[in-house]
Structure 1
């Protein structure tokens, strides 16, 4: 179900300015009370015996949680369990939720962890929005409709790529599948700057595709090479 798959999220679907969200302590408790009935109420061993190693069985209760959150807050919320490393979905940034096999115990104990995952995911999106604004090239960019506007110095694109790759590698700890979200974040940054989805995909694929690996934190040389390609491809695709 692609609508519940965080890897397919676009910037329009996660942009905090388009999707306001607030959840204070009381509201978080109320949300956990809605999540709890969707979880198995069983002892830890019984839960793990039933769900460990079976993604179809995980979906039995993970999808209803995602559906609840998406219905209430928007599709961005489906990233609530996109955990670091080999969790329910590979290569995310959420620490509050590991994976169904390790995180699920009883319903009352587990529901607050799902809410914590949602809050952590939202914090990450908001952090990215602030970074995007700080890294955005000057307004006199080649994306402007004005023919007299000056092209953006490639340095701006190169700097942005370097900083975003670095922060994603840090937040994902460069564990399993981390580069997928890295490419997604770079695409989001381009969308933030008004670049259409297909063009952004080509730029990111040319700059990054196949150059990062699971469990390997990119060194300075690798990041510099990707960032240089990113800036050059931006210039070539004006």
Structure 2
């Protein structure tokens, strides 16, 4: 069910400007009340742990949009490898009683949303002068290189470079390119050529590796 996998999310699906969201304290409590009956029992987790939270995810996606499927994309080896959410670990370790777990799920959703909004702010700050990039040859490659360096660094930090972290790193770089008007297929090609297997699980990239990737990223975008 790819629609429930956060690693398949595109920038239009997460862009805060296209996917408005607001949850005050009262609304968060009401959301937790609605989530509570959808939570799995310990028995269900043991039987089919990787699918046990699907009802929660389906509900959040139906209510808020597909961006919400990242609510439990936790750091390290959680329900899905390589995310940024800290307050949620995984079904096996985060699910307890409904009155405790439901607010935790809502807090995880808010943490994921905060990350998306943080990225949007970073994208705005890092965007080349010509934000709608009809021809990247008109953009100084330094802008692309600087953006890649900063985005790789922040993703490595937020994911703590744990299991599968590079998947989200590639996704974020693709989102940034899409933010700047380059189509999704071309964005994936640019990112794959730039990273080329240089990042791995449980290994934070050193400055030399980041410099190489950022330079290749800039060169590849410049050849768009």
TM-score after normalising by structure 1: 0.90
* Structure 1 moving runs of 4+ over 2 Å: 49-52
Q: Which residue of 2 aligns with 1:44?
A: none
- Deviation readout 1:127-152 (Å, 9 max, x if unpaired): 000000000001187x337xxx9711
The 1:58/1:201 distance shift into structure 2, 3 A limit, reads closer
State whether structure 2 residue 72 is matched by structure 1 residue 81.
yes
Q: Which runs of 5+ in 1 are unaligned?
A: 42-46
SS at match of 1:81: coil
Q: Which residue of 2 aligns with 1:144?
A: 134
Q: Which runs of 5+ in 2 are unaligned?
A: none
SS at match of 2:155: helix
In structure 2, C-alpha distance between the alignment counterparts of 1:183 and 1:150, rounded to whole Å? 22
Q: Is the 8 A contact 1:84 1:98 kept in 2?
A: yes
Among 191, 194, 207, the alignment partner of 2:178 is 191
The structure number with the bigger radius of gyration is 1
State whether structure 2 residue 8 is matched by structure 1 residue 5.
no
In structure 2, C-alpha distance between the alignment counterparts of 1:168 and 1:186, rounded to whole Å? 10
State whether structure 2 residue 20 is matched by structure 1 residue 33.
no
TM-score after normalising by structure 2: 0.96
The 1:63/1:40 distance shift into structure 2, 3 A limit, reads closer
**1:215 Cα deviation (Å)?**
0.3
Q: Which residue of 2 aligns with 1:70?
A: 61
In structure 2, C-alpha distance between the alignment counterparts of 1:12 and 1:169, rounded to whole Å? 23
- Deviation readout 1:141-169 (Å, 9 max, x if unpaired): 7x337xxx971110000000000000000
